Structure 1
Amino acid sequence: MPARRVITQRSQEPRRRFAEELRALRTEKGESLRQLAERLGWDSSHFAKMESGETLGGPEVVEALDQHFGTPRLLVTLWELARADTTQFKEQYRRYMQLEVEAVSLWQFAVSVVPGLLQTEGYARELIATSGTKGEALTQQVQARLSRQELLNGGDAPPFRAILAEGALRTTPRSDEAWREQLGHLMEMSTRQNVTLQVLLQGAGLHGLVGTDVMFLRASNGLAVAYTENAHRGELVQEISSVEQLQLAYDSMRDLALSPAESRTLIGEMLEEAPCDPST
């Protein structure tokens, strides 16, 4: 009979368990982080962050680790469970919120909706309500989102660049009044010295951030992190090479966008054409 696997005392939290198993497999193989990096072709700092739980890494590196350790699908399965853990997503978002407040500069690409830092109350309320949030919980979430915008106010406000895919300006709330208010707010924000607003037209073509909302936050020490998000999940990206790849994609995409002046003209035209609420 095959030997029974000893029951471990390792964590039942998916992300931590993934990190523990990865560290245990490397230790059992008698490899240092540097040796592992040399054999697989990734930076040793990347593996160190994976073993500390700071990052999960991508599917390619996890598959390579499974092959290297001779553990078919074990690490991939744990990685998938860790990525699906909503508790960890909330923890990452809390960390992101802390970094956002401390950032000395911010720049963002929004795919399908107006960025939270630029939303009006009416727009935010309708958008958050689409998730099924109601009543007092809805009001609390709207107020929490609006309170974040305070970091763009005042003389020491950090510079903020937002690039909006045209789709974000074509996906309108049901309330005509809320949409006109939102467009007017974008016009007003675009005049601020610390805010740069650009629009990426649909005809600009494919680029490296298609389908990816991303916010970059630069700290006072010069290091940047990225937060990527879709309708169902978000991920805080801190590994230097991964952030740099996202930044290169952002820079290339920015070159395709309208200038700030052209973007302001477009939004102004949309405001003029926006329907008025019949009740007003």
Structure 2
Amino acid sequence: MPPRSSPSERQRRLGVELRKLRLRARMSSDAAAALLEGERSRVSHIEAGRLNVSHNRLYKLLREFGCPPGPYFDELMSMAQASGKGWWDAFSDTIGPAARDLAELESRSTALRTHGPLVIPGMLQTEDYARAVLAATEADPQRADRYAEFRLARQRVLTGESPVTYRAVIHESALHTQVGGPAVMRRQLLRLMEVSRLPNVTVQVYPFEAGVYSAHTRSFVLFGGGAPELDTVYLEHPTNSLFLGDGEQLDEYAKMFERLSELALAPVDPESAPESHESRDSLSLIQHVMYAL
């Protein structure tokens, strides 16, 4: 099978991890090629995500690289065996590779942490809100509708059989930004309160009075992998979305998220009685904005 020209994010990340392990084991490409009974170029293609590696050969490589048994070992094996196919294939007529990679990454993640500075994060958007957001960037109404359907389908990870742990810090500006008109915004703000009832979902608002923080204008998502070594940061850009897996970058964004969470108001708790709110919290701020619409 010839090398693929456009590996998926999962295939690329698997290759990156194998290269890290090989270098950590101080093993040359030639030595790894000998283990695979192949040429050196095959190792290069595998480490670039352009070629698959069989179950038995990957197991042998991981053992020779000194990767101990455990979640990291198991997750690498699982990544190699995955087909890359899923519910997102139904949207292949519209979405591009980055969107497919995003959906696949979400499907295998155990936790999501996201910061939304200007709009409500996609995982929490209502259908009307999503359509209004996408209509502003997609000229073709039919494509905008399909993108909205895709976005709503991604939200299943919050309510499926094994729902992910989800934490969101939303800047107050996103609550005030008019998307689709007052009626759409009211339903969207209600949605924030409703989804916060899920035991796996935590929503906080970063208020204006918290001031400027170095990360408060950045939109990002932190994905928790099946092992900490496989955590990923996702940065959405109009032309080229980025998936980051470098340890230092992961640490930086994890620290930024935790700092944002510390500066934000207390999480939304829709079950609490109004009189129990001794101080301003995320719920009271969302309600205040909603009633002012």
AA of the residue aligned to 1:126: A
AA of the residue aligned to 1:94: R
AA of the residue aligned to 1:269: H
Is the 8 Å Cα contact of residues 135 and 141 (structure 2) preserved in structure 1?
no
Is the 8 Å Cα contact of residues 129 and 180 (structure 2) preserved in structure 1?
no
Structure 1 portions without partners, runs of 5+:
1-11, 14-32, 35-48, 55-88, 275-280
AA of the residue aligned to 1:116: G
**Runs ≥4 residues deviating over 4 A:** 230-233
Alignment CA distance shift 1:270-1:203 (3 Å): same
Counterpart pick for 1:113 among 96, 110, 119:
119
**In structure 2, what is the Cα distance between the partners aligned to 1:201 and 1:109?**
13
Alignment-derived partner of residue 278 in structure 1: none
**In structure 2, what is the Cα distance between the partners aligned to 1:159 and 1:133?**
34
Is the 8 Å Cα contact of residues 213 and 230 (structure 1) preserved in structure 2?
no
What's the secondary structure of 2:287's corresponding residue? helix
The alpha carbon displacement at 1:177 in A equals 1.4
Alignment CA distance shift 1:232-1:172 (3 Å): farther
Find out whether 1:265 has 2:284 as its counterpart: yes
Find out whether 1:212 has 2:218 as its counterpart: yes
String of CA shifts for 1:142-166, please: whole Å, max 9, x gaps: 1111111111114521110010011
Counterpart pick for 1:91 among 97, 103, 125:
97
Counterpart pick for 2:243 among 236, 242, 250:
236
AA of the residue aligned to 1:97: A
Alignment CA distance shift 1:174-1:97 (3 Å): closer
AA of the residue aligned to 1:242: Q
Alignment-derived partner of residue 90 in structure 2: none
AA of the residue aligned to 1:178: V
AA of the residue aligned to 1:263: S
Alignment-derived partner of residue 39 in structure 2: none
The alpha carbon displacement at 1:184 in A equals 0.9
The alpha carbon displacement at 1:269 in A equals 1.8
Alignment-derived partner of residue 247 in structure 1: 254
Paired residues in the alignment total 199
TM-score, normalising length from structure 2? 0.61
Alignment-derived partner of residue 151 in structure 2: 145
**In structure 2, what is the Cα distance between the partners aligned to 1:259 and 1:219?**
26
Is the 8 Å Cα contact of residues 228 and 235 (structure 1) preserved in structure 2?
yes
What's the secondary structure of 1:147's corresponding residue? helix
Superposition pairs for residues 55-66 of structure 1, below 5 Å? none
Alignment CA distance shift 1:260-1:210 (3 Å): closer
What's the secondary structure of 1:161's corresponding residue? strand
Superposition pairs for residues 1-280 of structure 1, below 5 Å? 90-222=96-228, 223-230=230-237, 233-261=240-268, 262-274=281-293
**In structure 1, what is the Cα distance between the partners aligned to 2:99 and 2:174?**
22
- RMSD of the alignment, in Å? 2.9
The alpha carbon displacement at 1:241 in A equals 1.4
Alignment CA distance shift 1:93-1:174 (3 Å): closer
What's the secondary structure of 1:252's corresponding residue? helix
AA of the residue aligned to 1:141: Y
Is the 8 Å Cα contact of residues 104 and 220 (structure 1) preserved in structure 2?
yes
Is the 8 Å Cα contact of residues 120 and 182 (structure 1) preserved in structure 2?
yes
Identity across aligned pairs (percent)? 27
**In structure 2, what is the Cα distance between the partners aligned to 1:240 and 1:207?**
22
Is the 8 Å Cα contact of residues 208 and 250 (structure 1) preserved in structure 2?
no
**In structure 1, what is the Cα distance between the partners aligned to 2:111 and 2:120?**
19
**In structure 2, what is the Cα distance between the partners aligned to 1:180 and 1:53?**
47
The alpha carbon displacement at 1:210 in A equals 3.3
**In structure 2, what is the Cα distance between the partners aligned to 1:102 and 1:177?**
35
Is the 8 Å Cα contact of residues 128 and 142 (structure 1) preserved in structure 2?
yes
AA of the residue aligned to 1:244: D
Is the 8 Å Cα contact of residues 216 and 260 (structure 2) preserved in structure 1?
no
The alpha carbon displacement at 1:207 in A equals 1.9
**In structure 1, what is the Cα distance between the partners aligned to 2:222 and 2:122?**
14
Alignment CA distance shift 1:250-1:138 (3 Å): same
TM-score, normalising length from structure 1? 0.64
What's the secondary structure of 1:255's corresponding residue? helix
